[in-house]
Amino acid sequence: SNNLLEIKDLEVVYTSGKSTVQAVNGISLSLGRKETLGLVGETGAGKTTIALSILRLLPERTGRILNGSVTFDGVPVLELGEAEMQAIRGGRVSMIFQDPMTALNPVIPIGQQIEEALFLHNVDKLDSKALGERINEILGLVGIPPERKKEYPHQFSGGMKQRVVIAMALACSPELLIADEPTTALDVTIQAQVLAMMEELKHRLDMSMLMITHDLGIVAKTCDKVAVIYSGEIVEYGTFEDFFVGERHHPYTDGLFGSIPDIYGNVRRLRPIEGMLPDPTDLPAGCKFHPRCPHCMDICKTVLPVAYINGTHAVKCHIFASEEGYHGEY
C-alpha cells in the first residue's frame, strides 16, 4: 500500500484496580504521504490514546493494546522490539504536545536541547561546526533567530516556546509529525501564526501530519482528511471536501460545527452540544451519542449503527440508512 500509516481495528483498554475501560474501540485509519489527517473530538474521546499507541507510549501499567495493527511505512509497529521502536520514535515519527513545558527542560538552553534531540538519533556524526549550522538551520525553520539559542525556555513567550518544541520535533526530519492540540495553550493570534508555520513546514519538509484537535476550525485550515472520534469510535470519516463542502454530517459533527470560531476568532455557540461524553465504565447501549443527540430515534437506544458509506464519506448513524447514496458497511 502507498499509505505511510495504517491503523486497523485498534482496540485499547486502560485498567485500574478492577475496572477496565475501553478507550479505543475498533478504529481503522490511513494516512498517505504528505497528507494531514485530523483527529477531532472532545477531551477523553480517545484521540491521544490513538497517538500514543502509534508510538507505543501508552502508560505501561495501565494501558494495553488488545487488538489491531499499526503499520508505518510497511513496518508492523506493534511487533517491533524496543530498540527498533526507538529508532522510529522521535526519528521517523515525532510528536508534539499541548503544553510546551512538558517537552522542554527549564534548566538547559534551547540550542543545547535541540542538539540533544539530534544526538538521540545518531546525528552525532556531525562535527561541531556542522552541528552548529544544523541547529541554526532548525531554529531558522521555526523563525527563531540563531543568537537566541543560548537562552533558556523561560525567556521565551508561549508561542515561541511551542516553536522551540516544534524545532526539536523536526530536528531529525521526521516523515510523520503527530501534533496533539499543538496550539490549544496559545492565544488566538499566536495560534494562527504557529498553525500557518506548521502548514508551511509540512510542505517544505514533505511530512505527513496527524493533527489532534477539538477544534474543527483548525481542521478546516490544515487537514486533507478528517476522522471525528466519539467515545473511542470514529463516528464520521471523510475528505476535506466531505466535511467542508458536503453538507450531510453526523449529528455530533454538526454540534462541533456550532463551535467553529469565526474569522474574528469569536466562538459562535449556535448549537452547543448539550451534555458530556459518556462515562467509559458505563457506556450507553446502541449509539453511544444517543443521550445527547437531538435526532435520537427508538432504534438508536438499542442498536449500534453501522458505518454508512458514500464514496470517501463514512458516517456511523442510523439516519444515513435512508440517505440517498449511502449504503451500510457491516
Interface with ligand SF4 includes 251 (CB under 6 A)? yes
Kind of pairing between the strands at 63-72 and 75-76: antiparallel
Interface with ligand SF4 includes 318 (CB under 6 A)? yes
**Look-up of cell digits 502508560:** 59
Alpha carbon distance 230, 289 (integer Å): 8
Binding mask 49-78 for ligand SF4 (x = CB under 6 A): ------------------------------
Spell out the SS3 assignment of 27-86: EEEEEECCCEEEEECCCCCCHHHHHHHHCCCCCCCCEEEEEEEEEECCEEHHHCCHHHHH
Residue 13 or 293: which CB sits closer to ligand SF4?
A: 293
Task: Please pick, from the candidates 57, 101, 120, 296, the single residue that binds ligand SF4 as defined by CB under 6 A.
Answer: 296
Choose the binding region for ligand SF4 from 1-9, 162-170, 255-263, 287-295 (rule: CB under 6 A): 287-295
Task: Give me the least distance between CB of 317 and ligand SF4, in Å please.
Answer: 3
Task: Give me the least distance between CB of 306 and ligand SF4, in Å please.
Answer: 10
Task: Give me the least distance between CB of 53 and ligand SF4, in Å please.
Answer: 26
**Look-up of cell digits 527542560:** 105
Interface with ligand SF4 includes 37 (CB under 6 A)? no
Task: Please pick, from the candidates 87, 130, 188, 297, the single residue that binds ligand SF4 as defined by CB under 6 A.
Answer: 297
Residue 70 or 317: which CB sits closer to ligand SF4?
A: 317
Task: Give me the least distance between CB of 295 and ligand SF4, in Å please.
Answer: 4
Contact 34, 223 (CB under 8 A): no
Task: Give me the least distance between CB of 252 and ligand SF4, in Å please.
Answer: 6
Give the interface size with ligand SF4 as a residue count (CB under 6 A).
14
Which residues touch 148 (CB under 8 Å, ≥6 apart)? Answer: 110, 139, 155, 156
Interface with ligand SF4 includes 290 (CB under 6 A)? yes
Alpha carbon distance 229, 162 (integer Å): 26
Residue 202 or 318: which CB sits closer to ligand SF4?
A: 318
Q: Provide the CA 256 distance to its chain's centre, in angstroms.
A: 16
Residue 89 or 292: which CB sits closer to ligand SF4?
A: 292
Task: Please pick, from the candidates 211, 218, 226, 293, the single residue that binds ligand SF4 as defined by CB under 6 A.
Answer: 293
Q: Helix crossing, 128-141 with 110-120: angle to 10°?
A: 110
Residue 149 or 250: which CB sits closer to ligand SF4?
A: 250
Interface with ligand SF4 includes 287 (CB under 6 A)? yes
Q: Which residue, among 88, 122, 96, has the nearest Cα to 177 in the 3D structure?
A: 96
Contacts to ligand SF4 by CB under 6 A: 250-251, 287, 289-290, 293, 295-297, 300, 305, 317-319
